[in-house]
Structures are given as structure tokens and as C-alpha cells.
Structure 1
Amino acid sequence: MTAPAGDAAPDGVSFRLLGPHEGHVLTSLISAVYGDSYDVRWVYDAHEVAARLAEGRYVSVVAESATGKLLCHMGMSLATTGDLVAHSGQAVTLPAARGHHVFTRTKRFLMDWARGAGLRGMYSEVTAAHPYSERANIAVGAHETGFLLGWIPASVANDAALDARRRRRSAAFFYTKLGDGSARDVYAPERHLPVVTRTLEVCDLRGTPARPPGDAVLRARSTLHVDIEADHAIAILTVTAPGADLGDVVRAERHHLFHRRGVDAVYLDLPLDDPATALVADHLEELGVSYSGIFPNSRADGDVLRMQSLHRVRIAADDVVVASDHGRDLLDYVLADLPADARASPAAR
């Protein structure tokens, strides 16, 4: 949650990591800025924050004024302490620091720490309700790899949003490269191969677009894991082994999630290192599952192709703010791939 970049940063700003005994700092900050609307609920539990800090599963950076006043916070989560790619979030810039590049300086501090710790990259979901956070990420070298349509619940208050209406909002997915990953083949469906290739090039990722061998066949059964994020009213289906039955499996899971579990959006992750991913596109497109982007996934061995399916959520081009030419091109592709019933008409808005 940031504001537009302005002139020079305030004098005397310092940056440091929070210690495990300071879990209450994040909890108090989130409460002060978001009230009780923030959609990651563990941040309201100071003991849980402290435990994550102590175990190394969470790294928390704060920017402070010369008098010790808190100006900005940014966190970084690791699924396990040995992860090479981390998730950055809980980025909050307080009013006194807005317009002074404190956000970008805080993120650079965190990036330097992460690079020193041997991490290869950081990713984040950035609200697309306004351009300020996106511009700040671009300023530190991050690039968009996809858009999560309908990702943010309507309950989340955002005082910087360009449109004040309360409804589900979308997020731009950013990746910040800190070091080279391993060389690997990337098997995207033929139809999405051009946009995947462009994203790999823009982000300087070490993936080589490849087509599956001519004799490649799908295994009979798919293997997948379902994670429901109740705070977001979303679900993520991680497919570790795509099979010939994937269309039927996704259809059944989606119906259960939409109609029994009250989920508003389902995101489907397919392993890009598996040639089978390039063979299942037709099965999924028949269901109206559309392109979202390239994402890291801790349940998969490498990057995944994320697809998305929305329930009673309508998206229009001007619902999503972008801050770069690459982002605009990518968003246009994502929106064009949506099924017609997920696109908001001007009259409906």
C-alpha cells in the first residue's frame, strides 16, 4: 500500500530487520493502516509473526526516521528455510513517508539481504487498483509475469484505489530476479508459447521454450493438490502430474469449490518442466479456464503455468491498472483469453 513516488527521501532514514521479539510491530502497523480488513490473517497474531521470524520463515524489514518513527515495512516469506525463491508482501508505506521513495529503498534493502542469503528471486502479488506499488516494483528491476484476476477480496480496504467501489480486485504478479536459476526446458501449450517466451525474455529467466517430443503421451491419471485460502475465498489447484483425465478432474473440483466451498476464483498451476503441460491445453480451454501467467510454486519442482477460472466475478480492462508497456501487453493477452461470461460489459459496470 504505497503512494506516488516524489522527490528525495526524508533525511536520516535507516533500515533494519525486525527481531523475533518484535512481532507486535507488524501487527500494530497492519491494524493501523488496514483496520481488520487485511486478507492475510496471521499478521494480526503477534505470537505467530514472532514464531515465523524466529524460525527464519519470515524476514521483516522496516524503515525508520532519525527519531525512530516507523515509515515503511516490507516482509518476505519462505515456504521452507532452504527455499531459493521467496514471496515478498506486507508492503506498507505510512503517510509521513509517501512520495519520498522510501518504499523502493526498503525493497532494495530487502533485495540486498536476500541476495546475500543466496536467494535467486523474489515474487509478489501487487494490487492493480492503483499504479504506485507497480511503479515502485518496476523501479527496483521487477517485471510482470502475469495477472491474477479477482485475486483480492472486496473486503480489503484500499485508500489509494483509483476506483472506490468495493468489489474483488486484481493483482499484478511481479518477479524480481536476484540471481540465475538452473537452465531448463519450458513446455507451454502451443497457443500460449509466444506470450510465455516474451515473459521469459523480459524477466531474463533461464527457461528455454520447448515442444514436447513427437511420441509424448499423457498418463492416464492426473496428480494434484488443492489449497483453499479461505481468507481470500480462492483456491489453488497445483497439478504435479497432468494426465488425460485432467479436464474431468478440474471440472469436478471447480464445481465443488464454487458451489460447496464458496470460492470466487480458482487458479490452476501446471508444471512447465513437464511436456504433458503442453498437451492438456485443449481439455482446459473447453472448460473456460484461461491464461494468467508464469509463477513460482513451492509444491512444484519449478515454475508453473497458471490458469484461472472466475465465479460470478466480472473483469473489464479499466478495472486493472498497469504501469509498464510490457504489463499492458501482458494484461491485454490475459483479458483477451477470458471466456466471454467473465468479461464485464460497459453497461454492467
Structure 2
Amino acid sequence: MTTSTTDDVVLRRLGPAEGAILTSAIRTAYGPSYDIRWVYDADEVRARLTDGRYVSVVAETPGGDLLCHMGLALATPGDVVGHAGQAVTLAAARGRHLFTRTKRFLMDWARDRGMAGMYSEVTAAHPYSQKANLAVGAWETGFLLGWIPATVANDAATDTVRRRRSAAFFYAKVNDGHDRPVYAPPRHREVIGRTLDRSALRGRLAEPPPGAEPAVRTVLHTEIDRDHNLAVLTATEPGADLAEVVGAVRHRLFHHDRLDAVYLDLPLVSPGTALVAEDLEALGVSYAGIFPNHRADGDVLRMQSLHGIRITADDVVVASDHGRELLDYVLADLPHTSRQPG
């Protein structure tokens, strides 16, 4: 699907030469504060649209005036799960449910292409974007506490204090993914099972094979996001030394690189995750949720560790009962140094 037209709205994909439309929309909505910097570079947007790493969908008036934008980022053009973001609804379009119409158009495109689904980090400073995601059939799979930098302006937040904000993580399924085992750590097995069921993911809880042992050494990839002042660690092979390795890397990232948060992804398709993940509890690394990760096969268990960020229940707005239950679990798993009762 490339175009859909009604009497009042035209939905279509942008061509490579139209990257400036996204850049202009971001500047209108966020000024210079948007935390993904490449969207301000029309040439970079054009390059991503050209090679298939980015799909850009807009809602316009029949006369061509922009009303809403949404993008889908892919690590490679053949990815089966994409990252939906850069959602902008201009002031003239508020109240017309164009976010949901635009996202459904994007989901239809992904379904026709054979993709499994798309995920998105949605601000938890207000419920509006979360409600829109729920309306198109997406469900919360976790919460990234402190994910959004304080420099990002958000005029819909429930308060005006400039501080790091949290994000609700949503997954929208468009086709069945592949059947796969999910080796959840015993302590988080129940919440992971509930999340799999709610999101209709094809992962199935499994026990490590009898006699299974973790690898001797952990294989860890570190990706620092300077725009967010955080890092995402991916253990493609969680080993017996996981806690030792993560502890050393986290110390360097917090005290040398001065990052605010570190997130750790563990592959749920690996029995090693069930065997060693609970060793992280002594470090104060806590549960965030289930997330896709292009460096790992299938879903990952994401853990999080915050540095100098205090989170309360009142800081995080949720829009569904499922989201509230999941947030309560995430907050309860935080070490006491990172949370206060709401």
C-alpha cells in the first residue's frame, strides 16, 4: 500500500526527495530539542529513505498541507521488526485521530510486506500517545525509566519540570513471528509469560535443557547514545561471568563517561539468560521488560540501571490496566537507591 485517500486526508509514503518534510515537521513540533539528531539532516533522511532503512508516512490535506507524520526505522531493509517513531501531529490536526489513521496505514504497509511487527518508545509524561497506540492494537511490553533526556521539550507533559522522562515500550503485531523458546529467569518468569500472552508473541516459556551450563565468558557489545546520554549493552552470549563483566562496564560508563542510565539486553532464546540473569540483582540492575534487539535472535530481556536518577510512581503516566500492572512490577524491582514511593 502506497497511498490512501478520503475526502479530507491523503495518506502516503514519502519519496526519497521529500526528506525535508520530516525535518520541517520535527522542527515545528520540537524546535532543536529532538533527541535523534539525524532527523534534522535532510540529506541523511534522504539516504535512509533511498536505501530502505527508513519508511516515512504522512497524512496531508488534499491540497498537500502536512497534518501528521510517522516513521519506521529498520536496521537493515530486510528486517521483520521495525522501530516506529518520529510521530508528529501538527496543531491544525489535533482531535482528528490522525495519529491512529497514520499508524494503521504504516501497519498495513508492514503487514503487506510480511513483517512481524513494530515497536516504539512512547513518552510516559502524558497518556495521549499511549492511548493512540492502544487504539491500533499495540500493547505495553516494558518501561524504560529515565530514557528521555531532560533537554527534550514536551508541551503535553503533566508538569513543567525539566528532568529525564520515562518511556512506555509498545509492540504492535502485524503478522505471526517465528515460534521460539523463551528462557526466562525464574524470578521474572511470570511477568514475562503475561507479557507474551498479552502481546500475542509466538515465544513460549521453556526450561533450560537438563545439564545446561552458561558459557564461560560473556560476549558483550556496548553502544553509547550520546544524544540520550545512555548506553545499551547487548550480551549476545550471557556467560557465567555476566555480573562481573556488566559491573565493570557499568562502572566505567557511569563514572568515566558520566552517563545517566545503562540498559542491558539478554537474549531470551539463550538458556544462559535463565541461568545467569539473576546474578545481576546484587548490582542493582532491575527489570525493564521484553524488547526486540537487532543484535539478538528473537526477543530480549531488558534490564536497566540508573545513575543519579530518582523515579517515583507519580513520574510515570500509564493508559491501561495492563500498563499499570507492568509499571508496578518494574518500579518494585528497582533498587531502593533509584526509587521513592509514589
TM-score (structure 1 length as normaliser):
0.95
Q: Does 1:202 align with 2:201?
A: no
After TM superposition, list the pairs within 5 Å mapping 1:56-71 onto structure 2. Answer: 56-71=52-67
Alignment of 1:280-299 (within 5 A): 280-299=276-295
1:269 is aligned to 2:262: no
Name the residue aligned to 2:113. Answer: 117
Match of 2:3 in 1: none
The question of whether the paired residues in 1 share the 8 Å contact of 2:180 and 2:298 is answered with no
Equivalent in 12, 21, 32 of residue 17 of structure 2 = 21
Q: Secondary structure at the residue paired with 2:172?
A: strand
1:67-216 matches, within 5 Å, as: 67-216=63-212
Counterpart of 2:214 in structure 1 is 218
Partner of 1:243: 239
Aligned partner of 1:336: which letter? A
Which amino acid in 2 is paired with 1:167? R
Alpha-carbon distance, 1:344 to partner? 3.2
Which amino acid in structure 2 is aligned with residue 321 of structure 1?
V
Partner of 1:3: none
Give the CA deviation at 1:218.
Answer: 1.7
Q: Distance in 2 between matches of 1:148 and 1:59?
A: 25
Q: Residue deviations 1:48-99, cap 9 Å, x none?
A: 0000000011000010112221100000001001100000000010111111
Tell me the amino acid that sits aligned with residue 315 of structure 2.
Answer: D
What is the rounded CA distance, in whole Å, between the counterparts of 1:77 and 1:282 in structure 2?
A: 32
Q: Counterpart of 1:344?
A: 340
Cα distance in 1, alignment partners of residues 218 and 167 from structure 2:
29
Q: Deviations over 1:150-184 (max 9, x none)?
A: 00000000001111110000000000001111111
Q: Residue 254 of structure 1 aligns to a residue in which SS?
A: helix
Paired residue for 2:301? Answer: 305
The number of residue pairs the alignment matches comes to: 337
CA RMSD of aligned residues (A): 1.0
How far apart are residue 345 of structure 1 and its match? 5.3
Question: Aligned equivalents of 1:231 and 1:340: distance in 2?
Answer: 27
1:22 Cα shift?
Answer: 0.7
CA distance in 2 between counterparts of 1:303 and 1:281 reads: 15
Runs of 4+ in 1 over 2 A off after TM superposition: none
Structure 1 residue 11: Cα displacement: 5.3
Shift of 1:239: 0.3
Deviation of 1:282 (Å): 2.8
Gapped runs of 5+ residues in structure 1?
Answer: 1-9
Which one-letter code corresponds to 1:111 in the other structure? M
**Is the 8 Å Cα contact of residues 187 and 278 (structure 2) preserved in structure 1?**
no
Partner Cα distance (1:209, 1:117) in 2: 28
TM-score by length of 2: 0.97
In the other structure, the counterpart of 2:51 is 55
Match of 2:31 in 1: 35
Please show how residues 225-240 of structure 1 align to structure 2 within 5 Å.
Answer: 225-240=221-236
Q: Distance in 2 between matches of 1:80 and 1:207?
A: 23
Q: SS at 1:309's partner residue? A: strand
List alignment gaps of at least 5 residues for structure 2.
1-5
1:28-66 per-residue CA deviation (whole Å, 9 max, x = no partner) reads 111111111000000000000000000011000010112
Distance between the aligned counterparts of 1:11 and 1:290, measured in 2?
Answer: 50
CA distance in 2, matches of 1:336, 1:281: 17
